[in-house]
Structure 1
Amino acid sequence: MGLILITLILSVGMPFVNKIKDRNTILQTKNILFEVDKLVREVDLEGVGSRRPFFVDIGEGDFLIKNEGAEEKIIWTLISKEKLGIESGNSVGELGPLIEEGSLKIQSKKVGQGFEISLWLDYKDIIDIESNLKQLSGQYNLIIEHRQTGGNDYVEIREG
């Protein structure tokens, strides 16, 4: 009887715990991205030679810096079984409405049995971002620095 009760409690409680965990991960990631955005903009405004250290801990999800072609984005993506209050499209692969919180953009799409939630900062036509870091997970000491090469100004994000 006790084992059945524990199993029942876990089967009901675990989805709720996972939902709260995913929601907290998204809130923490939003704060990280707001801080990264603040530092990138500060370094860009202060001019060549300005730099800031930044510690980031990516526990879940994929953290990407895209700076190829026309893209100048810092993106974080999480797959969740829950919508977490972020609407997705009605069918698999269809994007939901774009949510903007300052310079942070949030969007979700349905994938298989869950939802892919993306948060990103887009610097296209604003700040030239350079980085040899592509996908991050784990803990990193990053350096955000305003540099100049061949007359071109850019903000470099690298491991420090």
Structure 2
Amino acid sequence: MNNKADIWISAVLYLGLGVIILTLILAVGVPVVNKIRDKNIAIDTENLMLSLDNQIRAVYSEGPGSKRPFKFEIRKGNFVVNENDETINWNFETTALLSQPGATVEKGNMVLLTQETSKQGTYISSFQLNYSGILNIKLQGSNGEFTGANALLVSNSGATGTSLPTIEITPI
């Protein structure tokens, strides 16, 4: 009779030990996976922003009437076209430190700024393309905020009443 009880006690102890080990692995592993995921999202978005900048500058240099489609996906954060400031911004909250907080980092025509939040170990990273003084950004048919999968038509409508050419961005 004692042997049967020993088997059950051993089974319960091994089960408990297994649950504790799995909990520890998840407690350590999930934050690491989240940081890696955020870094990958940031790298993808950096490439997306630089590619969008190349498309806008190509349409600008080709002159009035030039049009190019641009497809992209925003997996995390806010992608905003601000025609008042002539900027295109992408912001997201992350646990990955992409640059020194408060310091701007220029990557081509893009600026990266990381700011600390009130929550320890969490940051807001902002990628920005600024066309102020270069060209006018005009957004057609949208409120300026994009999430998920998107397609835009970037077109050069020339100079209209100003000395700067106008680049129209239209969701398609």
User: TM-score with structure 2 length normalisation?
Assistant: 0.83
Alignment partner of 1:50 is 2:66: yes
- After superposition, what is the alpha-carbon deviation per residue over 1:72-122, rounded to whole angstroms, capped at 9, x for unaligned? 1110001112323x111xxxxxxx111001101001111111111001100
The counterpart of 1:81, out of the listed 88, 95, 119, is 95
Q: Following the alignment from structure 2 to structure 1, what is the Cα–Cα distance between the partners of residues 147 and 66?
A: 26
Alignment partner of 1:125 is 2:143: no
Alignment partner of 1:32 is 2:42: no
Q: Following the alignment from structure 1 to structure 2, what is the Cα–Cα distance between the partners of residues 77 and 143?
A: 22
Cα distance, 1:127–1:149 mapped onto 2, change above 3 Å:
closer
Q: Following the alignment from structure 1 to structure 2, what is the Cα–Cα distance between the partners of residues 24 and 60?
A: 11
Alignment partner of 1:102 is 2:136: no
Question: Aligned with 1:142: secondary structure?
Answer: strand
Q: Following the alignment from structure 1 to structure 2, what is the Cα–Cα distance between the partners of residues 121 and 150?
A: 22
User: TM-score with structure 1 length normalisation?
Assistant: 0.89
Question: How high is the sequence identity, in percent, across the aligned residues?
Answer: 31
Cα distance, 1:73–1:150 mapped onto 2, change above 3 Å:
closer
Shift of 1:151: 4.6
Match of 1:154 in 2: 166
Which structure is higher in helix share?
2
Q: Which runs of 5+ in 2 are unaligned?
A: 1-16
Shift of 1:148: 3.9
Larger radius of gyration: 2
Count of matched residue pairs: 150
Equivalent residues of 2:38, 2:95 under 8 A apart: no
Asked which structure has the greater RCO (Cα within 8 Å, sep 6+), the reply is: 1
Cα distance, 1:148–1:142 mapped onto 2, change above 3 Å:
same
Q: Following the alignment from structure 1 to structure 2, what is the Cα–Cα distance between the partners of residues 64 and 118?
A: 11
The counterpart of 1:137, out of the listed 147, 159, 165, is 147
Q: Following the alignment from structure 2 to structure 1, what is the Cα–Cα distance between the partners of residues 151 and 167?
A: 16
